[in-house]
Amino acid sequence: MTGYGSAEGQLNNVTYAVEIRTVNNRYFKASVKLPELVLFLEEDIERLLRKNLSRGTISYVLRLKNASANVLFDIDETALRAVMERLDRIASSADVKYPIDIGSLLALPGILVPVSPDEEKAEQVKEMILSITQEAVNELKQMRAAEGAALAADLDKHCKAISEDLEQIRAHSAIVLQEYAKRLKKRVNGLLADAKLKLDEETLAREVAVFADRSDISEEIARLDSHLQQFAESCQGSPSYDKAGNESAAANGQAGRRLDFISQEMLREANTIASKASDSEIIHWVVDIKCRIDRIKEQVQNIE
């Protein structure tokens, strides 16, 4: 599901700003961008994201505002002095006079180094960042919950339409057998009329029984109906969130993956009905059912 959340916090006159964006993905994929000052928190942040979000491509960005230079980096004076002394020796041996641009030397690797906070400050920074990260995640969940409500309504609409088509198929399947028996009897009687032979009713009954067994779709209809019920129950039991962004007690796991599996089983039963049915009206309803299942399969990829 798509979503956005942001939060800010201040510590020692430095403002920490978090932004989290998510887009649809059937798997969890996180991109965490942090200033060098707090790179040590990357694993903790990703662990928090995994705890709260199970699917989606997640973009996490942390920015520092109003941070002074001495908070962000330090100069390795020993390394800088060593570079300057070496350049001076090279210039003297080559008898070349040149000004040393210290500003340019700062761009060399290892001269400017990120400040490493001591253990106490690191713990304070960690607590602050994880706190505002949770706030941003909660805001993102609320946005995703609103999208999820609309998505649930759309899925419910498709499931009800499938159920209606299934009832039509169930009612029509009994008529199909009777129509087949009439057509078979009429055709055979027409072929035997010239020979002045009469169709054996027992033979007709046997042929109809074979057709009935071969084209029986009652089990597939029952299983598809059961899958629809399971799908509805899983939608009702999918995670919902309170105003604080916490999952409700009714949440019973990752509904998205379960719904994905159920929709695959629904399509399997629909395909079997289509292969066994020998009636144009039933095929018409099955085509409609398969179109709606394909739509459901697309939508459940967005469900967490």
Same domain, 157 and 100: no
Same domain, 218 and 274: yes
Judged by DSSP in three states, 277 sits in coil
Cβ(273)–Cβ(221) below 8 Å = yes
Same domain, 159 and 288: yes
Domain count of the chain? Answer: 2
Length, in residues, of the chain: 304
Same domain, 166 and 267: yes
Same domain, 156 and 101: no
Backbone angles phi, psi at 24, to 5 degrees: -65, 135
Per-residue confidence at 186, pLDDT binned at 50, 70, 90?
low
Q: What is the b/e burial string over 25-44, where b = at least 16 CB atoms within 10 angstroms of the residue's CB?
A: eeeeebebebeebbeebeee
pLDDT tens, residue by residue, 264-304: 999 999 998 888 777 778 889 999 999 999 999 888 877 76
pLDDT of res. 206: 63
Range with lowest mean pLDDT among 91-95, 120-124, 126-130, 248-252? 248-252
Domain coverage including residue 97 = 77-105
Average pLDDT over residues 244-270: 71
Structural tokens at position 261: 């599996």
pLDDT of res. 292: 93
Q: Is residue 135 part of a domain?
A: no
Rounded CA-CA distance 245/262 in Å is 28
- Which has the higher per-residue pLDDT, 240 or 64? 64
For the cut 50, the answer to whether the pLDDT of residue 69 exceeds it is: no
Position of tokens 């020979």? 195
pLDDT of res. 111: 66
Average pLDDT over residues 63-78: 65
Same domain, 159 and 277: yes
Rounded CA-CA distance 243/89 in Å is 67
Judged by DSSP in three states, 230 sits in helix
The model carries a pTM of 0.58
List, in order, residues 6 or more apart from 189 with CB less than 8 Å away. 199
Cβ(300)–Cβ(235) below 8 Å = no
For the cut 50, the answer to whether the pLDDT of residue 135 exceeds it is: yes
For the cut 60, the answer to whether the pLDDT of residue 72 exceeds it is: no
Position of tokens 């510590």? 11
